[in-house]
Chain A
Amino acid sequence: MRPVLALAFAASLLPLAVGAAESPRRSLAGSVSSLSFPVLESRRALPIAADEMDFVGEAASHEYPVYLTANEATRPAKLKLAYLNAISVLPETFHLTVKINDVVVGETTKQASSRPGDLSLNIPAGLLEVGFNSVRISVRQSHRVDCSAGSTYELWTRLLPDQSELTFTGGVADIRELRDLPAVGSGKNGSTPIRVKVLRGSSSKDVVSASRAVQSAVLLGQYTNPVVEFDPSSPGVGGLDIIVGQAGAIESLLGQRLQGSGPRSQVLQGTSDGRVTLAVTGANEAEIDAALEALAERASAAVPVGSPAGLRALKNVSGRRLQGGESATLNELGLESEPFRGRLSRQTVKVQLPPDFLAADYGRVTLTTDAVYAPDLSPSNKLIVRVNGTVIADASMANPRGDVLKRHILYLPTGAFKSGLNTIDIEAETRTAGDARCDAVALLDQRERFLLAGSSEITVPTLARIGALPNISSAMSGGLGLLSKELSVFIPKGRSEAIDASLTVLAKMASVAGHPTTVNVGFEQPPQSGSHVLAIGAFGDVPDAMLRAAELDPDKLRSAWQGTTTGAVQTSSNPERIKVASMDASGELVVPSRRVPTDPPVATSSLHDQLANTQSSLGGLKTLVGSTSSDWLTRHVGSVFATASDIVTEPLRRTGVLASPEAARLVVTDNSTLVIAQGARARDLQDGSQPGFLPSIESTTVIVAPSAADLVASTSNLLTGSLWQQLVGQAAVFDSETNQIATRVSGNIWLSKTAGLDVQNVRLIAAGWLSRNVPVLLVALLAVLLVLTMLLQRTLRTTGVREP
């Protein structure tokens, strides 16, 4: 009771901010006399991940879910922000707005490009709630000198995570319950460090126990970017410590008594340093096991609490999970529906599709758009929808009087999506004639040009649910756990860095999927139990056979990582569109023998274009004045012919009926710091070269790095940002330095049952499979048709009137 009173006293001493003055006062605070006490203050860093600290473009917004304990939510709170602008941001138009739980708590127009600007806002009492709260920061900015759409990418405002925090007057967060685990703060890059120690030792069985405890903690704490360290040598800063072991041993280690008896989990907080420790314990091994089991059950059943906005922010932080057959408005997906005043509006929503979603063209996601655009925009403006970076649909915004797009439907084929995380960008160019001149008036033009309403809706159709292998995008989003009851994790030689990386991967998978993966761990060889193996290790440790099983060529890796060849250029073969495998596409892993200079973007190319355009218009003129030259005509007929031939042949090429011009290639160089690859094969059909429908499948997923240090660094780097969503296809190569990912699409796809095979699902799976294997569909269709025609003909001959 005493600390609460003390805090209440302290709270009453704080000067109330202007913004907060209007909010109803809490009765507790009002009844206290004004005695002077030292003010206790606790800080809570905003969970800002690396890719969420930048606000790029003319309008950008990020929403962060912040968990507050009961103790914190009732305190007077302050939000401190520090930010930096790009030099190109025009000071007159800069605008930063802060909302908490959808209520504006403050804003600033102070541009800060030379040194960090800061903003300190008092949060009105009563606005924060126990549990998750939403902190949304929105930025509006425009370019100093450039009105082009391209220049908007130069505009950025960066939040400085280490100086951006919530502070609460009067004491620290009280984290003594499992439900308060989300309050464990995030560290660098918005990641949550988790140090796990199994007191029994560090055998493969202990790693299994550690993974169970870690995954449960991740689910309970709703950590989106966990980075795990197993049996740490140093105590570390921030984050969560997990200790699994017998009660006595833990007590002697922590110097603190554990309450209760029997299998149990307990959250302890250091009184002096505030360290939070999760102890999973029991009197003996059996009880510890039971405690782990009980913890996992609680984790799976955990329901986050908080304000509606906070829960929304939490749901969207790793992409809203949509299972198919459901809709979500853009509001629900975290879109801030604000009038746009710039030249290129870009709004991004992230959706997490099931890891066993079969990505192929058998349905379409509909985006029902409610939008408005202003009069007098350039007629060439368009609303463009990109899925995972590729333009999939567009709508014209060419009406010079402006227009209201009411329930305007855009179709996004399911084949454009992938299992796991997907981004949908809704872009609208809103340039005006004035922007072409780009004079002072145009630069300062801040009228409202476009509004994408939050009532716009994304509807995901019922999806085909089946594991498709190889598919590393599904593996990262929890797909491996769906394939079998128990995933075999192989950590060659039990190297500690590899164990850390493995646990980090498993923790991330649990966070993304929302459920834990049951694993079995082997150090010397993969555990025999499972048919799906995840092998994580440094290159020298992973057996060649395992690499081959994941369709990697050990020799080529060796020559890239251990050979004498100097670094080669990393060629990003990131495909434009996430292609699904077709029958004859086969990738080859190649290592370039020497550095190949990439062509810099040729600045004169536009000149060439201009020249060509001039020529073409001159040609048109010639024709008009009756020149005998048929060049112009030939060219236009040629282009019409080419378009027609494209319409005819492109679908055939895409569907694999005609051979694709080139197969996917993947390049590993000495700059590559991580390779993720997956191989799959039918168990009964070792030599199976044809993809079957549902034979028993086994798979090998390998995460391999040139060294143990690279493995840990690259894994956490890859998984704590949004980079991991770029993992697609059969294999990916990550370059830690440039943060580039190159991927390779697989030749064959194997299907492995994950969900129930009811009629609807089977039909969708069949459609998905057939749309990936159109030549098979065509051949089957024509074959049955030939037979059917023969049968019909025979029937016709023998029925009806006998022919003369």
Chain B
Amino acid sequence: MMRVLNGVMIVVAVSLILLLLLQPVGTDAQWAIAEACLVAMLAIKLLKLSGYWRHLFFTLGAILVLRYVYWRTTSTLPSPEHLQDFIPGILLYAAEMFCVVMLALSLFVISRPITRGRAPAIQEGRAPTVDVFVPSYNEDSSLLALTLAAAKGMDYPADRMKVYLLDDGGTEEKINSTSFKVADAAARRRHELQELCRVLDVTYLTREKNVHAKAGNLSNGLLHSRGDLVVVFDADHAPAREFLRETVGFFAQDPKLFLVQTPHFFVNADPIEKNLSTFDSMPSESEMFYGMIQKGLDKWNAAFFCGSAAVLRRSALEQVGGFAGTSITEDCETALELHAAGWNSVYVAKPLIAGLQPETFSSFIGQRSRWCSGMLQILLMKNPLFKKGLSPAQRICYLSTCMFWLFPIPRMAFLFAPLLFIFFNLKIYNSTVAEFGAYTMTYLVAAVLLQSYAYGRFRWPWISELYEYLQSVYLLKSIAGVIRNPRSPKFNVTAKGGSTEQDHLSGFAWPYFLIFVVLLLAQGTVFYRMHAEPEAAGLLLIVGFWNMFNLMMAGLALGAVCERRERRQSHRLPTEARGTLSVDGLVFVGSVIDISQGGMLVRASGKEAIRLQSSARLALTLPGKAPASVSIPVRIANVRSEGDDRIIGVSFETLNAAEYGAVARMMYSDLTLLRGVRQSRQRSKSIVLGTAQILLWGFRQTLRGGYYALFRREPASTVPATTH
């Protein structure tokens, strides 16, 4: 009853608001409304108010957006009598309206993000049985060894957990390939991994044919296992010890629960962070999704499966015939099917795995093309709006997730729209300067404020625009491909890890340079026209400012596509372990600073000389609930002094299962340190400082891009290590 009453009152209030907002009151009144809303929003933001005020902030922002939409629709569209203005005018309008719709959808999604409490404790005797799947296609064994060892090392009753390596690189199809090279590689791979699995006590599984890519591989795993729950880790996603303790408990609480998803937490920088050198100071791109959006989706029981770092219920998967394979984003599609079948999901915001992400710009684009194509496949073939069984909120959430990937279209429209005026003098946006100030400027300020307030801790100002621009250039093609034939996209395995031997221009860089040059010419034309046509100065100023912004983004993008060299093949994680290093009969007491897949950095005291490349043994006491001692064979790689101490770099010799387990445990058992480092980056940047920062970066990266284009064009050899 209360709900109905509440609903009726909301309808009345919304109607009243619309009635007041959709009044064609003049520019002065608009200024008054805009100023009142912006001042209130600014106050809420600066005073860091939350709760009720957070929602007020959103509704105030919505007022300005609606006022803009109303004015834009009724007053600014070119007349259909002038088709050359009207057609691009309408396209720009449509692009803008798409952004408004997306803003509305995303505000709904994050209207009340929830943070789940700790998972209920598992009753030791009655813990559900768990199958851990590590699907692999072409990752090397040392990477897999660590992931499998970490999975084996998870804190869970040993008799109730079984780890499977699902190898798609050693299928019968591959081994029987007509190409000798392929067949030989597959056979050797299968043998090597079978041996690794034997050592690590992991079940090796492969299959007949590589059908349905990752989804098929996982479904094959389902057929050959029988645990109550299924855990999926990508080959490069090593879990923390507490992974299962933090997740499995939820399943006992809710029998209709099909998914507990945890964040993908990356130990390396994505290529853009790497190339712009922002990894250490700025929150990563993925953090907005895992820090805010998934929490928001969780509120509406619409948190979705992200392909890895998740626990799923076998009975639920079996009900819908395993992992879905219609689209190339099987994870989201599977979740959509299960949500539609009435199953529930939970999102645990705590990072519980450490993973890798693509390191070169081209593999980054490859990954995003897959996501974009897959999500659009879902939009076209399983449109959430018409999918039976979803709640209205879930429909909105999935729609928001899928439609997000149409962003390249408006992004490109905003990039090229000013050029139509600058080069061709088309007038596609009818407005006076005063109206532009009162409506457009205030709308833009409101949009920036909204973004900054909603995501500030996870996303600095203008970074979304940069990532969107960078992806748009290539994703447009993916969108076109899906629209032409929704079934055409094929699953391509994302190359991750890997390294860049030297500074060079990405092979994908040329369109960015082309666009930059065009925008630069446009800016030159603006200055020329301002001089030659002072009568159009007002309009040119506005359009020129807009193009300047695009130019700055394009300049910043030049830096992002200039690959910095990355010598390390694997990524160092901070860790805490004390022990002794025995080398050539000498014993040094020390502690481990950080650890990577290939070796460790040890801080040791003692002044005796150490010979490089000598074999040594590192005896360590592993911290944690169950302290354990382990001795690892290493080789001295380098030594340097730091004050009284010496920093010794050691690389691992060939490891056995127990030693892999120890390394994995040191690396991943406790992600607290790493989480601390990442959390320290999660602080909001004020709009003013963020803008200044971006301008500075834009300038610097433009120069760097120019330098690379002139002197670092040579394609360098990259050493990709690919995983799913």
Contact status B27-A413, CB under 8 Å: yes
Among the 9-residue stretches A661-669, A713-721, A765-773, the one with 4 or more Cβ atoms under 8 Å from chain B is A765-773
- From known contacts A651-B28, A655-B32, infer whether A770 and B21 are also in contact, taking CB-CB under 8 Å: no
CA distance A600 to B21 in the complex (A): 48
What residue of chain A has the Cβ atom nearest to residue B17's Cβ? A784
Is B617 interfacial (CB 8 A cutoff)?
no
What 8 additional pairs, Cβ within 8 angstroms, besides A655-B29, A804-B116? A396-B535, A411-B432, A764-B24, A770-B25, A784-B17, A791-B10, A796-B55, A800-B301
Which residues of chain B are near A647, meaning CB under 8 Å?
Answer: 437
Give the interface segment out of A397-405, A437-445, A474-482. A397-405
Query: Is B521 in the interface zone, CB < 8 Å from A?
Result: no
Return B674 CB to nearest CB of chain A, in Å: 25
Nearest CB in chain B: distance from A653 CB, A: 9
Which single residue of chain B is at the shortest CB-CB distance from A657?
B32
Which residue of chain B lies nearest to A366 when distances are taken between CB atoms in the complex? B430
Q: Is B393 an interface residue when CB atoms closer than 8 A count as contact?
A: yes
Q: Report A431 CB to chain B, min CB distance, Å.
A: 15
Q: Chain A's nearest CB lies how many Å from the CB of B128?
A: 21
Which residue of B has the minimal Cβ distance to A648? B35
- Between A and B, 29 residue pairs with Cβ closer than 8 Å are A361-B28, A362-B24, A396-B534, A397-B535, A398-B533, A413-B26, A651-B27, A652-B31, A654-B28, A655-B32, A657-B32, A657-B36, A763-B23, A766-B19, A777-B23, A781-B21, A784-B16, A785-B59, A787-B13, A790-B52, A791-B13, A792-B10, A792-B59, A793-B51, A794-B6, A795-B10, A798-B6, A801-B298, A804-B116
| Residues of chain B with a CB closer than 8 A to A799's CB | 393
In the bound complex, residues from chain A placing their C-beta under 8 Å from that of B17 are 781, 784-785, 788
Q: Is A780 at the interface (CB under 8 A from chain B)?
A: yes
Q: Which residues of A contact B112 (CB under 8 A)?
A: 796-797, 800, 803
Is A319 an interface residue, CB under 8 A from the partner? no
Give the residues in chain A near B6, CB-CB below 8 Å: 791, 794-795, 798
| B543 on interface, CB distance cutoff 8 Å | no
For A, the interface residue count at a CB cutoff of 8 angstroms equals 57
Known: A396-B535, A788-B59, A801-B301. A778 touches B33 (CB 8 A): yes
B416 to chain A: closest CB distance in Å? 24
Measured between alpha carbons, how far is A657 from B59 in the docked complex, in Å?
22
Contact of A771 among B14, B28, B114 (CB under 8 A): B28
- Most chain-A Cβ atoms within 10 A of its Cβ — which of B24, B63, B301, B532? B24
A781/B55 in contact, CB under 8 A: no
Kindly supply a per-residue 1/0 record for chain B positions 555-594, scoring 1 wherever the CB is within 8 Å of any chain A CB and 0 otherwise. 0000000000000000000000000000000000000000
Task: State whether the Cβ of A415 lies closer than 8 Å to any Cβ in chain B.
Answer: yes
Q: Which residues of A contact B298 (CB under 8 A)?
A: 801
Residue of A nearest to B36 (CB): A778
- Smallest Cβ distance from B5 to chain A, in angstroms? 10
CB of A86 closer than 8 Å to a CB of B: no
Closest to B23 in A: A767
In the complex, the answer to whether B534 meets A399 with C-beta atoms within 8 Å is: yes
CB-contact partner of A395 in B36, B117, B535, under 8 A: B535
Digitize B298-332: 1 where CB-to-A-CB distance is under 8 Å, 0 elsewhere. Answer: 11110000000000000000000000000000000
Check B393–A800 contact: CB distance below 8 A. yes
Asked if A294 is an interface residue, CB under 8 A from chain B, the answer is no
Q: Is the CB of B534 within 8 A of A379?
A: yes
CA distance A397 to B535 in the complex (A): 6
| B residues 523-570 in Cβ contact with A at 8 Å | 532-538
Name the 6 nearest CB pairs between A and B, nearest first: A361-B26, A396-B535, A651-B31, A398-B534, A771-B25, A767-B23
Say what secondary structure dominates the interface of chain B: helix
Of B7, B32, B437, the residue contacting A652 (CB under 8 A) is B32
Q: Taking the complex as formed, is A545 at the interface, i.e. its CB lies under 8 A from any CB of chain B? A: no
CB of A650, distance to nearest CB on chain B (Å): 8
In the assembled complex, A409 has its CB within 8 A of some CB on chain B = yes
Cβ distance A398 to chain B, nearest Cβ, rounded Å: 4
Chain B's closest residue to A380 (CB) is: B534
B437 partner residues in chain A, CB cutoff 8 A: 647
Report if B444 contacts A (CB, 8 A). no
A523 to chain B, nearest CB (A): 46
Q: Contact between B536 and A396 (Cβ–Cβ < 8 Å)?
A: yes
| B605 proximal to A (CB < 8 A) | no
Does B111 touch A at the CB level, under 8 Å? yes
- Assembly CA distance A797 to B31 (angstroms): 34
Does the CB pair B27–A801 fall under 8 Å? no
Distance in angstroms from A644 CB to nearest chain B CB is 11
A594 and B166 CA atoms in complex are apart in Å by: 104
Q: Determine whether B20 belongs to the interface, using a CB cutoff of 8 Å to chain A.
A: yes
CB pair B9–A791 under 8 Å, yes or no, is yes
Are B117 and A774 in contact, with the CB atoms below 8 A?
no
- The range of chain B's interface size is 35 or more
Chain B residues with Cβ under 8 A from A413's Cβ?
A: 26-27
Indicate if the CB atoms of A782 and B25 lie closer than 8 Å. no
User: B55–A789 contact, CB under 8 A?
Assistant: yes
CA distance A782 to B30 in the complex (A): 14
Q: Is the CB of A774 within 8 A of B28?
A: yes
On B, residues with C-beta under 8 Å from A are 3, 6-7, 9-10, 13-14, 16-17, 19-21, 23-33, 35-36, 40, 51-52, 55-56, 59-60, 63, 75, 111-112, 114-117, 298-301, 393, 430, 432, 435, 437-438, 532-538
Q: Is the CB of B534 within 8 A of A362?
A: no
Residue from B32, B63, B114, B438 within 8 A of A803 (CB atoms):
B114
B26 contacts which chain A residues (CB < 8 A)?
A: 360-362, 413-415, 771
- Return chain B residues, CB-CB under 8 Å to A803: 112, 114, 299
B-chain residues with CB within 8 Å of residue A18 when the two chains form the complex? none
A785 and B56 in contact, given A361-B26, A766-B23, A801-B299 (Cβ under 8 angstroms): yes
Q: How far is the CA of A778 from the CA of B39 in the complex (A)?
A: 13
**Which residues of chain B are near A245, meaning CB under 8 Å?**
none
A612 within 8 Å of B (CB atoms)? no
Given A396-B536, A771-B29, A804-B116, A785:B23 Cβ within 8 A: no
- Cβ of A239 within 8 Å of any chain B Cβ, yes or no, is no
A763–chain B nearest beta-carbon distance, Å: 7
Interface check A363, CB cutoff 8 A: yes
B35 close to A652 (CB less than 8 A): yes
Residues on the A chain within 8 Å of B33, using CB: 774, 777-778, 781
With both chains docked as a complex, state the minimum distance between the C-beta of A364 and any C-beta of chain B, in angstroms: 8
Whether B535 contacts A781 by the Cβ 8 Å rule is no
**In the complex, A626→B590 CA distance in Å?**
61
Give CA–CA (A785, B283) in the complex, Å.
33
Pair A774/B32 contact, Cβ less than 8 Å:
yes
Determine if A781 and B20 form an interchain contact, defined as CB atoms under 8 angstroms apart. Answer: yes
Q: With A770-B29, A777-B25 in contact, is A784–B10 under 8 Å at CB?
A: no
**A795 to B536 Cα, complex, angstroms:** 50
Once the chains are docked, how many angstroms separate the CA of A416 from the CA of B432?
A: 16
How far, in whole Å, are A395 and B430 apart by their CA atoms in the complex?
14
Nearest B-chain residue to A651, judged by Cβ: B31
A572 to chain B, nearest CB (A): 25
Contact B25 A804 (CB under 8 A): no
What residues of chain A lie closer than 8 Å to B32, measured between beta carbons? Answer: 651-652, 655, 657, 774, 777-778
A786 at the interface (CB under 8 A from B): yes
How close is B230's CB to chain A, nearest CB, in angstroms?
A: 23
Q: Which residues of B contact A771 (CB under 8 A)?
A: 23, 25-26, 28-29
Which residue, of B13, B28, B29, B116, has the highest number of chain A Cβ atoms within 10 A?
A: B29
Residue from A396, A767, A784 in contact with B13 in the complex, judged by beta carbons closer than 8 Å: A784
**Do residues B10 and A785 form an inter-chain contact, with CB atoms below 8 A?**
no
Q: A786 — which chain B residues lie within 8 A by C-beta?
A: 56
Q: Does A801 contact B25, Cβ atoms closer than 8 Å?
A: no
CA distance A774 to B535 in the complex (A): 34
Which A356-411 residues have C-beta < 8 A from chain B? Answer: 360-364, 379, 393, 395-399, 403, 409, 411
Cα separation A448 to B279 with both chains bound (whole Å): 66
Residue of A648, A793, A796 most packed against chain B (CB within 10 A): A793
B393 CB contacts on chain A under 8 angstroms? 799-800
Q: Are A767 and B534 in contact (CB under 8 A)?
A: no
CA distance A20 to B435 in the complex (A): 56
Q: How far is the CB of A36 from chain B (nearest CB, A)?
A: 65
